[in-house]
Amino acid sequence: MSNVTVLNVLLYGNPVGTLTLLSGDRIIFAFNKEYINDPRRPTLSLSFKDSQGNLITSLRPTQTKAPPFFSNLLPEGHMRRYLAERADLSEEREFFLLWVLGRDLPGAITIEPAEDDAWPDEASERNSEEARKAAKTNALRFSLAGVQLKFSAINETRGGLTIPASGVGGSWIVKLPSREFEGVPENEFAMMDLARRVGINVPQIQLIDVDAIRNLPEGIGKIGGKAFIIERFDRAPGSPIHIEDFAQVFGVYPHSKYKKASHRNIAEVLAAETGEADIAEFIRRLTFNTLIGNADMHLKNWSLIYPDQRSARLAPAYDFVSTIPYIQDDYAALKFSRTKRFDEFTLDELSHLAAKARLPEKAVLEVAKETVERFQQSWAAEKNNLPQPKAVTEAIDAHLKKLPIAKE
């Protein structure tokens, strides 16, 4: 039985710090001296920068949950439960989940035991050696943050997709159909396709038959219909690209992704860390998701990417779904500036956001108006050609009639 209590944290394959399991199931993260003393160190997270841009090195331990940056690397909900069960671990003990899933996390970060090939037998709820070996074989060693069942897949040259047996190394995310809501993959494909037509930065996407996916893990049941797949923008030939979502940026745990910050706060970070193009892209996406009635654009659905390893840019778009056909909602997931109400997302609200976030008001309003115009043209031309269910089309049409910005 292994007694490892230290996990090495690597960024682009280089050690930057350690996660240590303390008594009482407490966890503490510490940067190593080499990373602290490196003047050209790659950025791990904006959450580790103070107001002067210096690295924060005095960090407090957390209880059972990992520190927020690391906790947000793990999946949520059904996906977490599924992967924890396969690895025979408690879904609450995040040190051990990071141990098992840390080889294929979002971005350029990997987490591995200080002792090579160690396995957290001490965290297992099974007593027999045979059962523990089975759990190690069954565990999918990758983590994709989110609730929906998602898997990392390899796009094969002969066509189709294969889920890697080890769960590591895929360059596409496969999102399976929902058992609760009709046509979610078709909905997401249609909204992402429409977003690209409006001028939003969208990765490669496809809609494929679930039957075309090979090596789907056991235990998820028989699923038919279509799956939505999207290329991972945190993967590139030869090297991963680091990313972090805004729950990580703000040091917020996943369960608070609908609280603690607003779209105005996101805009303030973009104004401080990025440039005009990213701010325009942010306003474009904010406007678009209001128009389609996406009430689920929470902190984890906005991300930064670090193409040069140090400087932040707004990451490509993901998780655009019209949610109003499934759950009627008049409110966005986060406040815009003063309000969450879709029908109060107006040019005046955007002017207030621009003023508070110190964005150029004229440019913000021009981008919003241009997005509305391009959306209306694309929606009118393509809504009957896109694959979303009829209920989605009807819900968006009814929603648009309530929005002043669609008429301004």
Nearest to 43 by CA among 58, 31, 28, 51: 31
How many Cβ atoms are within 10 Å of 347's Cβ, its own excluded? 16
| Three-state helix/strand/coil letters over the chain | CCCCCEEEEEECCEEEEEEEEEHHHEEEEEECHHHHCCCCCCCCCHHHECCCCCECCCCCCEECCCCHHHHCCCCCHHHHHHHHHHHCCCCCCHHHHHHHHCCCCCCCEEEEECCCCCCCHHHCCCCCHHHHHHHHHHCCCCCCCCCCCEEEEEECCCCCEECCCCCCCCCEEEECCCCCCCCHHHHHHHHHHHHHHHCCCCCCEEEEEHHHEECCCCCCCCCCCEEEEEECCCEECCEECEEEEHHHHCCCCHHHCCCCCCHHHHHHHHHHHCCHHHHHHHHHHHHHHHHHCCCCCCHHHCEEEECCCCCCEECCCCCCCCCCCCCCCCECCCCCCCCCEHHHCCHHHHHHHHHHHCCCHHHHHHHHHHHHHHHHHHHHHHCCCCCCCHHHHHHHHHHHCCCHHHCC
Cβ 302 vs Cβ 247: under 8 Å: no
296 assigned to active site:
yes
Q: Which of 38, 296, 329, 330 is catalytic?
A: 296
Active site residues: 296
